[in-house]
Amino acid sequence: MSGNGNAAAIAEEDTPKMRVIRVGTRKSQLARIQTDSVVATLKALYPGLQFEIIAMSTTGDKILDTALSKIGEKSLFTKELEHALERNEVDLVVHSLKDLPTVLPPGFTIGAVCKRESPYDAVVFHPKFVGKTLETLPEKSVVGTSSLRRAAQLQRKFPHLEFKSIRGNLNTRLRKLDELQEFSAIILATAGLQRMGWQNRVGQILHPEECMYAVGQGALGVEVRAKDQDILDLVGVLHDPETLLRCIAERSFLRHLEGGCSVPVAVHTAIKDGQHEDGPEDDPQLVGITARNIPRQPQLAAENLGISLATLLLNKGAKNILDVARQLNEAH
């Protein structure tokens, strides 16, 4: 009996342990759903690895009584997760790409930009206004949004409406809409509603002529330590080439404009067919993104496109407009 027990113990010791990859995420339901989808893909690609999800709260999750544009912090939803990455408590972090600043702290990079879902904004109406559109809402109806970008565009397009800040995760904002009688509608990202399985709440999709979307909206970014080549190789297969190029162009545009949460910067991008030869690689990162498995030349072209458009707008007076927007935002 004891002989068999010893043999079993020795066999157990000889069995190699599966490597555990620790994945950081925010605690919200949407963040967990997004992280679960990335981990499911990685598990399918790497059946010999184990993945452990570690959830934590960020500054943006804790400050719920102030509009995002007023807080003045560039890494509201990323800082605590990056601290965990720096301390080697996690190996990679899954973010909504639009939450990641265009300049990352030293030592970090975006190792994967996953396939984008719809980047457009959606209108969710209070039950008594279902069937309406923003255009047909009554005069002085209050529309909730946490985004200066959305409010700035929609105020101009729909001057009969009033826009008011609404904070909280998706569940909280929908509850405020349905229960408080304060808002006639709220504006949310279509991708978030789709990922939560709440497509039936979408009353109107806002197309670019009504409201252009945020840089990186609808895409997920996987942040890693820039020198962790093993993990970079592991997540690099998640890059979606079209999403990657669009998001490099968008992030390059935003970085050159020096935009952020406190100014209303919006984009709309599309890929047109084109052939590119690969070129030499200097700095592996472009606007914080590392994608060694994607041809370099299209990435540089995307970055240059963003810079060119930003330069064009700056030459036409965009800097003055953004400066005034910042001042107005700080004054209110």
Write out the catalytic residue numbers.
99
Long-range contacts, 76-80 (Cβ 8 Å, 24+): 76/261, 77/26, 78/223, 80/56
Q: What is the amino acid identity at position 184?
A: S
Residues in the chain, how many? 332
Helix residue spans in 238-295 (DSSP H): 241-257
3-state secondary structure of 118: coil
Which strand (E) or helix (H) includes residue 43?
helix 29-45
Q: Which residues pair with 51 in a beta bridge?
A: 21
Which strand (E) or helix (H) includes residue 315?
helix 296-315
Q: Based on the number of CB atoms within 10 Å of its own CB, is 148 exposed (0-12), middle (13-18) or buried (19 or more)?
A: buried
* Pairwise CA distance, residues 33 & 39, whole Å: 10
Structure tokens at 273: 């067919």
CB 140 within 8 A of CB 162: yes
175 CA to centre of own chain: 23
* Pairwise CA distance, residues 128 & 104, whole Å: 44
C-alpha torsion angle, residues 123, 125, 131, 132 (rounded to 10): -70
Sheet holding 285-286, edge to edge: 49-56, 19-26, 92-96, 220-225, 108-113, 289-290, 285-286
Question: Measured in Å, how far apart are the chain's first and last C-alpha atoms?
Answer: 79
Structure tokens at 88: 């080697």
